[in-house]
């Protein structure tokens, strides 16, 4: 009896081993770990050009706000392996590691879901057979499917039936996807779980059930990343849906961002008001990536690869061509190369367009709203005391790779405007107190920018302040009732034996196609260091000359091909030769106009 049981158990072990993801394509690892930097994207594959599904509404109108490129239309259908293949190749160009197909299960109502997934699997497998490295496949569990499969009744996931139904969606998905194609972290397949709002009840036993059954069926447990609407339960990670519309988010190791949002086509059909987040010619997306780079996230999920109803796609489109594929690739490579874990300091330059290098503004509610003005040639951030409740704080988040939840010595240097005779301070997450009070700095009313360095011997930066912040600047309103103005902040591992240079502000400009403008750039350095001047991006119509003496010329010479419907955002960065080298950044907006704007727009009627 015992022998038989042992034999049976070892068979289970062998099966379990067999279930582990096998070695995948030539360069892809068999599994990732939580410290790998990974980029995932939600893959909506419900389109069928042949039948018009998800292209045309039942009343015959356009169902999608953005559209596939004309050259992609011929086979744009989940029924075509060749269509999935082209999307996968585009994802590879975009540097996507993980594709998250939206899964609905249920063949009768959502006949695209399983058959489309099978075609994605075929396309992925054939790319791997060719020695390529297509994205690995994770699950995007669209919980709306549960509602629809339950006759529109919100399911109760605390019952045996509800749990089984919930689990079957996951096990069906991973039965359809061979385990050598699974996107895994520590050998556990990744599941992004959409909102809980359609569920009537759930608790931790819902997730325990999934883990137990998945372990029994597949020899491992899923790596569940749940939407933050699932409250009071614990999973591996959490994320927040909605970043394409509301802006980027971070939850621990997971970051989300999107290129913009516009569901006009859908709203027209439903007779509702559309939600719109302007793409601002890519700047909304770029600023999301800047937030990802500065934050300590390791798993970034892009919302979305191909949701055309809501126009959140970064895939090729008629509207944008392959622009967002290129933008994604550039940003992913830059993000993966960014590591604050070994740098001597992090810093932040406040402004309308903050320059964040491992230190970034955190939440701004309920008492952390702030505004920007310009004082003595520098952009200044200050608490917005007009809010309810009144804001007297500016919350900041320290990059977790730089410092997180470990006692340490740090030096904090804060640049402030010395106007008036009041005072300010900050409160930081220390070993013993999440709001440890710094000494206060009393102003001397010189009307100049000054810097003050604090040595903290008990910094903890565990994100235990409101909104997971690590410190917050305050205007000491409780003492003097007067706001204070802040410029740059540096947090360093040892005392900085150098002062940062100061770049003079540059005005925004508007110019015509064919016009040439030369903008002088100048800076000074308190230590007299030599300075390198650079631009943060390479644009066709800009040339930058560094005179090598702390001055430079930004030359703008736009042609017709540079015209776009929104301004370009350009940053000039001055980096000194001190040790460590420190920097300053200024931003300007450049509007390129065509002569059309100057044609008479009003015709006088007599």
Residues that bind Ca ion (CB under 5 A): 397-398, 400, 422, 463, 470, 475-476, 480, 482, 484, 498-499, 525, 527, 529, 576, 578
Contact 294, 359 (CB under 8 A): yes
The 3-state DSSP composition of the chain as helix, strand, coil percent (nearest 5) reads 25, 30, 45
d(CA 457, CA 453): 13
Structure tokens at 572: 């000039």
Nearer to Ca ion, 139 or 396 (CB): 396
Q: How far is the CB of 500 from Ca ion (least distance, A)?
A: 6
d(CA 444, CA 17): 70
Q: How far is the CB of 316 from Ca ion (least distance, A)?
A: 36
Q: How far is the CB of 459 from Ca ion (least distance, A)?
A: 11
Residue 442: other Cβ atoms inside 10 A: 13
Nearer to Ca ion, 46 or 485 (CB): 485
Nearer to Ca ion, 236 or 525 (CB): 525
Peptide bond into 580 cis (omega under 30): yes
Residue 220, C-beta contacts closer than 8 angstroms, at least 6 positions apart: 16, 19, 20, 184, 187, 188, 189, 214
Nearer to Ca ion, 220 or 425 (CB): 425
Structure tokens at 8: 């049976």
Q: Which contiguous run of DSSP H or E holds residue 455?
A: strand 448-459
Beta strands in 68-222 (DSSP E): 98-103, 136-137, 139-141, 184-185, 188-193
Q: How far is the CB of 352 from Ca ion (least distance, A)?
A: 23
Nearer to Ca ion, 55 or 416 (CB): 416
Residue 175, C-beta contacts closer than 8 angstroms, at least 6 positions apart: none
Nearer to Ca ion, 10 or 446 (CB): 446
Nearer to Ca ion, 75 or 387 (CB): 387
Surface-to-core class of residue 263, CB atoms within 10 Å of its CB (0-12 exposed, 13-18 middle, 19+ buried): buried
Q: How far is the CB of 218 from Ca ion (least distance, A)?
A: 35
Q: How far is the CB of 85 from Ca ion (least distance, A)?
A: 40
User: DSSP secondary structure string, 381-432?
Assistant: EEE-TTSSSPP-EEEEEE-TTT--SS-EEEEEEEEEEE-SS-EEEEEE-BSS
Nearer to Ca ion, 192 or 382 (CB): 382
Nearer to Ca ion, 190 or 369 (CB): 369
Nearer to Ca ion, 498 or 587 (CB): 498
Residue 524: other Cβ atoms inside 10 A: 13
d(CA 444, CA 467): 33
Q: How far is the CB of 296 from Ca ion (least distance, A)?
A: 6
Nearer to Ca ion, 224 or 459 (CB): 459
Contact 487, 416 (CB under 8 A): yes
d(CA 319, CA 16): 47
Structure tokens at 89: 């190749």
What is the SS3 assignment for 249?
strand
Q: How far is the CB of 392 from Ca ion (least distance, A)?
A: 9
Nearer to Ca ion, 368 or 578 (CB): 578
d(CA 330, CA 439): 43
Query: In Å, what is the CA distance from 559 to each residue of 321, 327, 515, 569, 590?
Result: 20, 22, 8, 17, 13
Q: How far is the CB of 75 from Ca ion (least distance, A)?
A: 46
561-599: burial string, b at 16+ Cβ within 10 Å, e else: ebeeeebbbbbbbbbbebeeebbbbbbbbbbbeeeeeee
Contact 457, 408 (CB under 8 A): no
Residue 336: other Cβ atoms inside 10 A: 16
Q: How far is the CB of 398 from Ca ion (least distance, A)?
A: 5
Closest CA to 122 of 182, 184, 80: 80
Nearer to Ca ion, 260 or 578 (CB): 578
Contact 571, 355 (CB under 8 A): yes
Nearer to Ca ion, 310 or 525 (CB): 525
């Amino acid at each position: 009896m015992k022998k038989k049981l042992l034999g049976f158990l070892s068979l289970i072990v062998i099966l379990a081993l067999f279930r582990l993801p096998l070695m995948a394509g030539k360069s892809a690892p068999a599994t990732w770990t939580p410290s790998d930097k990974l980029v995932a994207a939600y893959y909506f594959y419900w389109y069928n050009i042949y039948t018009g599904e998800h292209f045309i509404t039942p009343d015959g109108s356009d169902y999608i706000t953005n559209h596939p490129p004309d050259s992609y239309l011929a086979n744009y259908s989940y029924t075509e392996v060749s269509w999935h293949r082209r999307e996968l190749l585009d994802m590879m160009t975009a540097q996507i590691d993980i594709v998250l197909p939206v899964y609905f299960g249920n063949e009768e109502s959502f006949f695209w879901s399983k058959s489309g997934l099978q075609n994605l699997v075929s396309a992925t497998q054939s790319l791997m057979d060719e020695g390529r490295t297509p994205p690995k496949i994770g699950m995007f569990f669209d919980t709306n499917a549960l509602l629809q499969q339950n006759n529109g009744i919100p399911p109760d996931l605390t019952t045996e039936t509800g749990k089984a139904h919930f689990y079957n969606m996951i096990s069906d998905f991973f039965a359809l996807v061979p385990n050598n194609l699974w996107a895994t972290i520590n050998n556990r397949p990744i599941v992004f779980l959409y909102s809980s709002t359609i569920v009537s009840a759930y608790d931790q036993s819902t997730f325990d059930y999934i883990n137990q059954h998945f372990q029994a069926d597949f020899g491992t447990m899923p790596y569940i990343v749940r939407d933050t609407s699932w409250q009071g339960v614990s999973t591996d990670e959490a994320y927040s849906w909605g970043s394409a519309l509301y802006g980027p988010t971070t939850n621990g190791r997971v970051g989300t961002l999107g290129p913009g949002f516009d569901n006009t086509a859908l709203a027209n059909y439903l007779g509702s008001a559309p939600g719109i987040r302007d793409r601002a010619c890519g700047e909304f997306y770029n600023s999301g990536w800047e937030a990802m780079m500065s934050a300590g996230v390791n798993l970034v999920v892009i919302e979305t690869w191909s949701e055309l109803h809501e126009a959140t796609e970064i895939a090729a489109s008629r509207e944008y061509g392959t622009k967002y594929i290129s933008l994604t690739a550039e940003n992913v490579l830059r993000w993966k190369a960014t590591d604050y874990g070994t740098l001597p300091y992090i810093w932040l330059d406040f402004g309308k367009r903050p320059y964040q290098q491992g230190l970034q503004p955190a939440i701004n509610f309920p008492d952390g709203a702030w505004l920007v003005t310009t004082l003595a040639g520098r952009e200044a951030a200050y608490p917005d005391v007009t809010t309810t409740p009144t804001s007297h704080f500016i919350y900041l988040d320290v990059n977790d790779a730089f410092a997180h939840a470990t006692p340490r010595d740090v030096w904090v240097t804060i640049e402030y405007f010395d106007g008036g005779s009041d005072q300010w301070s900050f409160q930081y997450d220390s070993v013993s107190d999440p709001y440890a009070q710094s000494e206060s700095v009393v102003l001397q009313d010189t009307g100049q920018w000054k810097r003050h360095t604090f040595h903290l011997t008990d910094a903890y930066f565990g994100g235990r302040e409101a909104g997971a912040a690590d410190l917050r600047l305050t205007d000491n309103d409780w003492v003097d009732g007067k706001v204070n103005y802040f410029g740059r902040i540096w947090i360093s591992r040892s005392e900085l034996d150098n002062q940062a240079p100061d770049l003079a502000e540059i005005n925004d400009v508007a110019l015509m196609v064919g016009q040439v403008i030369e903008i002088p750039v100048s800076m000074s350095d308190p230590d007299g260091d030599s300075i390198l001047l650079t631009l943060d991006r390479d644009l066709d119509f800009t040339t930058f000359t560094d005179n090598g003496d702390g001055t430079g010329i930004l030359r703008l010479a736009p042609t017709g091909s540079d015209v776009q419907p929104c301004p370009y955002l350009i940053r000039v960065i001055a980096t000194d030769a001190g040790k460590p080298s420190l920097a300053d950044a200024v931003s300007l907006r450049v509007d390129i106009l065509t002569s059309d704007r100057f044609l008479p727009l009003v015709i006088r009627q007599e």
